[in-house]
């Protein structure tokens, strides 16, 4: 199936992009010596596919493929990225939408198979599955129900509890939401990272089928989100709109957050969080625009 999809993409390129031969090209590179754009960028409608024209040059991916999308909104987002960096030297981090699309187009069959395997295996080591269940009265921890904010009062409330209790308060709800999303039984958890929880075969089958159903664009988005959250459970909940950006970030960094409640926030902590939030929001938008 994957091979047929890649063949379709290649055939589409040769059929529709042959009309672009009259243009010069410019390949997307990291840290170029010159700005990619010094004038106004343009979108070309080429038989229902949109290409990006920078200074009258067709934009290519890092592997030399023509950058294209069938979604005009995606094309406009890419145009805005280059407008923001007009007459500037850039790196790949400055062009998140462009890179998500480029990686989708450049994805080889072997890489796709490996990426799918990575996502499927990630459920075994998901951080949300590893916590020690602690008995507590829900009212006892009600003061930390809103940990999205890192305000002084939130951190002060959090300081009263240890990591195990905080995880026991938040993680079960996350797991219930995930089970509901895939319509599978409750996931098996573990109190020790040395003991990998084994999920029910039916749960594994449904989960892997879900991962296999991701199109190339959504696959790339999911990988990027997983890279930031370190949890496929939180990643899928987030990409399906079942958890907010700040909440999934906080839960993915629950240990760091508890530490901050004791040691205080640092500038580097805040900077890292802003970077992750920006990347998550763009990945989520790209995911939604490529159903």
The stretch 153-171 carries a mean pLDDT of 89
**Cα gap 57→22, rounded to integer Å:** 10
The stretch 71-89 carries a mean pLDDT of 96
Give the whole-number percent of the chain exceeding pLDDT 70. Answer: 93
Task: Please give the mean pLDDT across all residues of the chain.
Answer: 90
Residue 16 has pLDDT above 50, yes or no: no
Helix, strand or coil, per DSSP, at residue 224 = helix
Here the tokens at position 245 are 């950006």
Count Cβ neighbours within 10 Å for each residue of 9-47 and write b for 16 or more, e otherwise: eeeebeebbeebeeeeebbbeeeeeeebbeeebeeeebe
What pLDDT is stored for residue 139 in this prediction?
78
Query: What would the pLDDT profile of 101-146 be if each residue is shown by its tens digit?
Result: 999 999 999 999 999 999 999 999 999 999 998 887 777 778 787 7
Query: What would the pLDDT profile of 226-243 be if each residue is shown by its tens digit?
Result: 999 999 999 999 999 999
Is the domain spanning 2-92 CATH 3.30.2180? The answer is yes
Q: Answer whether 161's CB lies under 8 Å from 144's CB.
A: yes
- What is the CATH number that goes with domain 110-289? 1.10.3580.10
**How would residue 12 be classed by pLDDT, with cut points 50, 70 and 90?**
very low
**How would residue 49 be classed by pLDDT, with cut points 50, 70 and 90?**
very high
What pLDDT is stored for residue 148 in this prediction?
81
What pLDDT is stored for residue 3 in this prediction?
43
Residue with tokens 């589409």: 12
Residue 205, CB half-sphere, CA atoms under 13 Å: how many? 4
Structural domain spans, the chain? 2-92, 110-289
Residue 171 has pLDDT above 70, yes or no: yes
- Sign of the dihedral through C-alpha 120, 123, 126, 128: positive
**Cα gap 66→54, rounded to integer Å:** 13
**How would residue 14 be classed by pLDDT, with cut points 50, 70 and 90?**
very low
Residue 15 has pLDDT above 50, yes or no: no
What pLDDT is stored for residue 274 in this prediction?
94
Specify the range with the lowest mean pLDDT, choosing from 48-57, 95-104, 131-140: 131-140
Residue 251 has pLDDT above 90, yes or no: yes
pTM, 2 dp: 0.89
> Are 2-92 and 110-289 equal in CATH topology?
no
What pLDDT is stored for residue 264 in this prediction?
84
Identity of the highest mean pLDDT range in 41-55, 184-198, 224-238, 254-268: 224-238
**Cα gap 38→91, rounded to integer Å:** 16
**Cα gap 267→118, rounded to integer Å:** 33
Bigger pLDDT: 11 or 213?
213
Q: Where are the beta strands (DSSP E) in the chain?
A: 24-27, 42-46, 49-54, 57-60, 68-69
Bigger pLDDT: 194 or 138?
194
Q: Answer whether 134's CB lies under 8 Å from 168's CB.
A: yes
What pLDDT is stored for residue 19 in this prediction?
57
């Amino acid at each position: 199936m994957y091979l047929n999809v890649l063949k379709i993409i290649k055939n589409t390129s040769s059929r529709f992009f042959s009309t672009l031969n009259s243009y010069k090209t410019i390949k997307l590179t990291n840290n170029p010596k010159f700005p990619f754009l010094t004038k106004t960028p343009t979108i070309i409608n080429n038989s229902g596919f949109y290409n990006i024209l920078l200074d009258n040059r067709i934009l290519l991916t890092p592997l030399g493929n023509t950058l294209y999308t069938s979604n005009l909104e995606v094309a406009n987002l890419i145009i805005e990225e280059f407008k923001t960096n007009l007459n500037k030297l850039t790196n790949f981090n400055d062009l998140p939408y462009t890179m998500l699309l480029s990686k989708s187009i450049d994805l080889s069959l072997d890489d796709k198979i490996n990426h799918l395997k990575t996502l499927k295996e990630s459920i075994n080591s998901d951080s949300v599955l590893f916590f020690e269940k602690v008995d507590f009265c829900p009212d006892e921890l009600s003061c930390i129900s809103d940990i999205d904010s890192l305000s002084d009062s939130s951190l002060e409330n959090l300081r009263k509890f240890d990591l195990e209790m905080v995880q026991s308060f938040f993680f079960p709800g996350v797991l219930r939401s995930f089970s509901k999303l895939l319509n599978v039984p409750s996931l098996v958890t573990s109190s020790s990272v040395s003991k990998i929880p084994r999920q029910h075969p039916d749960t594994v089958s449904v989960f892997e089928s879900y991962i296999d159903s991701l199109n190339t664009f959504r696959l790339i988005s999911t990988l990027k989100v997983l890279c930031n959250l370190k949890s496929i459970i939180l990643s899928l909940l987030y990409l399906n709109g079942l958890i907010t950006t700040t909440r999934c970030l906080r839960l993915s960094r629950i240990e760091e957050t508890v530490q901050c409640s004791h040691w205080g926030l640092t500038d580097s902590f805040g900077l890292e969080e802003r970077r992750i939030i920006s990347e998550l929001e763009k990945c989520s938008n790209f995911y939604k625009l490529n159903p």
